[in-house]
A and B are shown apart, each in its own frame.
Chain A
Amino acid sequence: MNRRRLLLGLPLGVVAVAATGWGVMLARMREGEFDPHTLPSPLIGRHVPDFSLPGLGGGSFASGITGTELQKPGRPMLVNFFASWCVPCVEEAPVLAQLAHQGLPLWGITYKDAPDATAAYLASHGNPYARIAVDRPGRVAIDWGVYGVPETYLIDAAGIVRWRFAGALTNTVIDRDLVPLLRTAS
C-alpha cells in the first residue's frame, strides 16, 4: 500500500521539481542572470581563430587585425564586433568609451558595414577603439561564432578568450561580469 501511495504522489513530485525549476529561471531572468536567448561561446577557454582583416583605413586605422596578434596580446583586452546600422551599438558606445578611457585596450571589428558608413558613425558617436578592422562579408565573425552585433570578447594576456557578451554592454553587466574577470585575467 505504501508503494502505491508513493506512486500516486509521483505526479505531484514531478510537477514540484519542474515548477521549482521554472521559478528559479524566472527569478534569475528578472535579475538578468538567466537569459534563455543568449548562447555561451564555444570560443571560451580557447585562442581566437586565425584570421587577417584589413584596417578601416584613414589615419590611425590603416593597419588591420590578425589572429596572431590576438593570440598573445600580453595584457587583457576587449574585442568588439559592431556596425553602424546597429542600434544597440549606439547604446553601448558611451560604455565602451568609458572602458577605453579607463585604459582597457579595445579593438573593434565592423560587421557587414561599409567603411564610409563606419567612419560617419565614429564621427558622430565617438571612437573608443584603438584599432579597427573591417569584416564586410562577415565570415571572420562566423569563425568567432558571432551571431549578432554588438558582441564583446574579453581576451586575457595569454590570448585565451575568457568572456563573451552578446548585446549592448551596460554598467551593470560590466560590474557583474567583466570587473571580476579582469581581476583574475591580468
Chain B
Amino acid sequence: MIPELGHFAIALACVIAAAQAVLSIWGAHRGDARLIAAAPALALGQFIAVGLSFLALVWSGVVSDFSVMNVAEYSSALTPLLYKITGTWGNHEGSILLWCLILSLCGATIAVFGRGLPSALRARVIGVLGAVSCGFLLFTLTASDPFNRIWPPPPDGQGVNPLLQDPGLAFHPPILYAGYVGFSIAFAFAVASLIEGRVDAAWGRWVRPWTLAAWCFLTCGIALGSWWSYYELGWGGYWFWDPVENASLLPWLTGTALLHSAIVVEKREALKIWSVLLAIITFSLSLSGTFLVRSGLLNSVHAFANDPTRGIFILALLGIVIGGSLLLFALRAPVLVPAGIFAPISREGALVLNNILLCAIAAVVLVGTMYPPFVQLLFGQQISVGKPFFDSTVIPLAAPVMAAMGLGPVLSWKRAALAPALIRLWWAALAALVVGLIAAHGLGAIPALGFGFALWMVLSAAAELVERGRLFRVPLSVSWARLRQLPRASYGAAIGHAGLGVTVAGMVGMSLAVHSIQLVKPGQTVALGGYRWMLVSLHDQPGPNWMGRVATLQVNDAASGRLVAIMHPGKRSFPLQQTTTTDVSIKTNGLRDLYVAMGDERGGGVVLRLHVNPLAPWIWFGALIMAIGGWLSLSDRRLRIGAPLRRVATARRGPVVPAE
C-alpha cells in the first residue's frame, strides 16, 4: 500500500511540476498577479509530494518490504537500520528519486526564502525549476520507477552493496546531489533573466549565494567521495580521473568560475552574458554528470546498471533542457547590453583570467572524458585517456590559476597597477620562494613548485586580510577595528583561497608517499618510511552481517623506538553478497597518515600493504576549509538583506552617467 502511495505521489508531483512550469511562466509573461502568486505554493506542493514518495521508499526499506524490487535488490533483513535507510539511494532508481527530491527542495527554497525577489522574476525562476522537475519526474515514472513490485516477494533481499555499508559513502550521494542540483537555481535565474531580457547587478547578487551554497555542497561531496576511495578501496589513491569523478569535477570547475564572474556582475555589471552562459553550462554539466554516467557509454569503475533504452530517454531529456536553454541564450543574449569597462590589469581582469583558466581546465577534463567514445564512433578505434593525460594537461593550467589567485584580491577594481600589488605581497612571495627552493633541494622540481604555490595561496590570502586591516602600519586597535568591520565575504574568500592552498599541499605531499607490500608473519617486523611495523597477531571478528578477520600491528619510530600507533586493518566478507571488503586502518597525526590494508593470508602470514602518506589528511581538510569559507561568505548580511532590492541597485548607478 505504502509503495503505491509513493508511486502515486510521484505522479502527483509530476502534474504539480507541470502546472508550476506552465502557470508560473505564462503568468509572469501575462503579468497575471494571481498566477504569479500561485507559483510559490505550487513549488511547495511539489516538494511535499516528492518528499512523501521519498518517505514511502525509505519506509519500504525500513520495514524490509521485499515485494518492492528496489528493496529486495539492495537491502536485506540483516542490514543495519542506517543502511536500510541509506540503501534507498544507493541504487539507480532511488538515487534518481533523491535527485528529484533535492530539485523540488530547490524550488521550495526559492518559494520560502525568495520573498524579496520581484514576484515576476520569482515566478519565472520557480517555473523554470518546475519544468526541469517535471521532465525528471516523468523519467522516474516511466523508465526508473523505484516502487516496482515483484511477486512473489523473495524471503530475503540481496542486501546492500557491502561497499556502500559505510557512513562516508552512505551520505556521499545526498551531499553531492545537493551540490549538483543546487546549481539548478543559478540555471533557473539565468533562464529567467534571458526570458526577461535583463541582467543587472542585482542578478549577480541573487545568483551568488545560491551558487555558493551549491558550490559548498559540491566541494564537500567531491571531498567525501575522494576520502571514501582513499580509506575504503585500500590502494592508497584518492583521485583516479575516472569519468564519474570527472563528472563531479566539471560542474565544480565551472561553478567556481561562475562564483567569481557573478562578483563582477554584482560589483561592476560586466561579464553579464558570460555569467548567464556559465550558469547554464554549470547546471548542464551537473545534469550530464548525473545521467550520462548511467548510459553505459563511459568506461567507469563506478558502473551503474547500464541500459541504452533508458540512456536515450535521458539524452532526449538533457537535449530539451540543455539545448532549450542554450537556444534561448543564442536568441536572447544579444538583447543583454554589455557594460562595465575595465583595464586588463584590474580585479576584473584577474577574475576574467581565473574564468578563462578554470574553463580551460573544464574543457580539458570534458574533452578527455568524452574523447574515447567519440574516437570509437568516428574512427572505430579504442583509445584510453587516463590519469597520466590529465596530470600532464591539468597541472600546467592549474599553476597560473594558483599564481593569479594570490594577486587578484589585492588588485583594485577597474584599473590597477601591478607593482604596488606585488609590493604588498612581497613577504608572501618571498616565503613561498624560500620554501620552494628548500623543497627543490630535497624533493625535486615538481613537488617544490607545488609546495611553493600552496604556501603562496595561504600566505597571500592572509596578506590580503593584513592589507585590509592595515596591520602593522596603524596601531593594533585601529587594525582590529578595521578587521572587525570587514564583511564576512572577505574572510570567506580569504579562507576559501587558503583552503585550496592546504588541499594542494596535501596533494603534493601525497605524491611523495612511500609504500611497501609484504608477506608478514606474526612477530615479524617491516621497516618503511622511518617506522618499524610489527605484526602482533591475527584474529577473527564477527559482525552483524559479515565475518571479519583483523590484524593487529604495532608501529614504532625507527629512530627512537617510541610507540607510534597500534593499528587494526581487517577484511570483511559478506556471505550474502559473496564479497569481501578491506577495512583499511589509518592513523594520522595531521602531518602524515600511516595506512595499512590487509590482503590475503597464506602460510601463517598475511600480505600487508603499508603506506606512509605525507600530508594526506590536508587534501580533505583543505576542502573542508574551502567549504567553511563558502558558508562564512553566505552568512554575510549583504548577501541576505541587500540582495532582493533591485531598485537600490538601479538607483546607485546614479541619475545620468553610469558608474564608469
Question: Is A117 at the interface (CB under 8 A from chain B)?
Answer: no
Residues of A within 8 A of B (CB): 1, 4-5, 8-9, 11-12, 15-16, 18-19, 21-27, 29-30, 34, 36-40
Chain B CB count within 10 A is highest, among A27, A36, A39, for: A36
Set of chain A residues within 8 Å of B284, measured between Cβ atoms: 15
Set of chain A residues within 8 Å of B373, measured between Cβ atoms: 21, 25, 36
Partner of A23, one of B315, B322, B376, B381: B315
Set of chain A residues within 8 Å of B295, measured between Cβ atoms: 22, 26
Question: Is B543 at the interface (CB under 8 A from chain A)?
Answer: no
Task: Tell me the smallest distance from the CB of B537 to a CB of chain A, in Å.
Answer: 35
Please report the C-alpha to C-alpha distance between residue A16 and residue B299 in the assembled complex, in whole angstroms.
Answer: 23
Chain A CB count within 10 A is highest, among B281, B284, B323, B326, for: B326
Please report the C-alpha to C-alpha distance between residue A39 and residue B382 in the assembled complex, in whole angstroms.
Answer: 6
Closest to B303 in A: A37
Task: Tell me the smallest distance from the CB of A162 to a CB of chain B, in Å.
Answer: 15
Question: Is B273 at the interface (CB under 8 A from chain A)?
Answer: yes
Question: Is B309 at the interface (CB under 8 A from chain A)?
Answer: yes
Q: Can you report 28 residue pairs joining A to B where beta carbons are below 8 Å apart? A: A4-B334, A8-B329, A8-B333, A8-B334, A11-B280, A11-B326, A11-B330, A12-B326, A12-B329, A15-B284, A15-B322, A15-B323, A19-B322, A19-B323, A21-B374, A22-B315, A23-B312, A23-B315, A25-B297, A25-B377, A26-B295, A26-B315, A29-B297, A34-B376, A36-B298, A36-B376, A39-B382, A40-B381
Q: Mark B404-423, 1 if CB is under 8 A from A, else 0.
A: 00000000000000000000
Set of chain A residues within 8 Å of B326, measured between Cβ atoms: 11-12, 15
Partner of A11, one of B281, B299, B309, B377: B281
Please report the C-alpha to C-alpha distance between residue A16 and residue B311 in the assembled complex, in whole angstroms.
Answer: 17
Q: Is the CB of B318 within 8 A of A19?
A: yes
Q: Is the CB of A18 within 8 A of B370?
A: yes
In B235-274, the 8 Å CB interface with A consists of 273
A1 touching B334 in the complex, CB below 8 Å, given contacts A12-B326, A22-B297: yes
Question: Is B344 at the interface (CB under 8 A from chain A)?
Answer: no
Please report the C-alpha to C-alpha distance between residue A30 and residue B308 in the assembled complex, in whole angstroms.
Answer: 6
Please report the C-alpha to C-alpha distance between residue A169 and residue B311 in the assembled complex, in whole angstroms.
Answer: 25
Partner of A12, one of B298, B323, B370, B376: B323
Q: Mark B313-336, 1 if CB is under 8 A from A, else 0.
A: 001001100110011011001100
Q: Is the CB of B381 within 8 A of A30?
A: no
Partner of A36, one of B280, B292, B296, B323: B296
Closest to A11 in B: B326
Please report the C-alpha to C-alpha distance between residue A22 and residue B291 in the assembled complex, in whole angstroms.
Answer: 12
Task: Tell me the smallest distance from the CB of B484 to a CB of chain A, in Å.
Answer: 44
Question: Is B277 at the interface (CB under 8 A from chain A)?
Answer: yes
A29 touching B296 in the complex, CB below 8 Å, given contacts A8-B334, A12-B330, A40-B381: yes
Please report the C-alpha to C-alpha distance between residue A24 and residue B334 in the assembled complex, in whole angstroms.
Answer: 32
Set of chain B residues within 8 Å of A11, measured between Cβ atoms: 277, 280-281, 326, 329-330
Task: Tell me the smallest distance from the CB of B116 to a CB of chain A, in Å.
Answer: 31
Q: Mark B158-201, 1 if CB is under 8 A from A, else 0.
A: 00000000000000000000000000000000000000000000
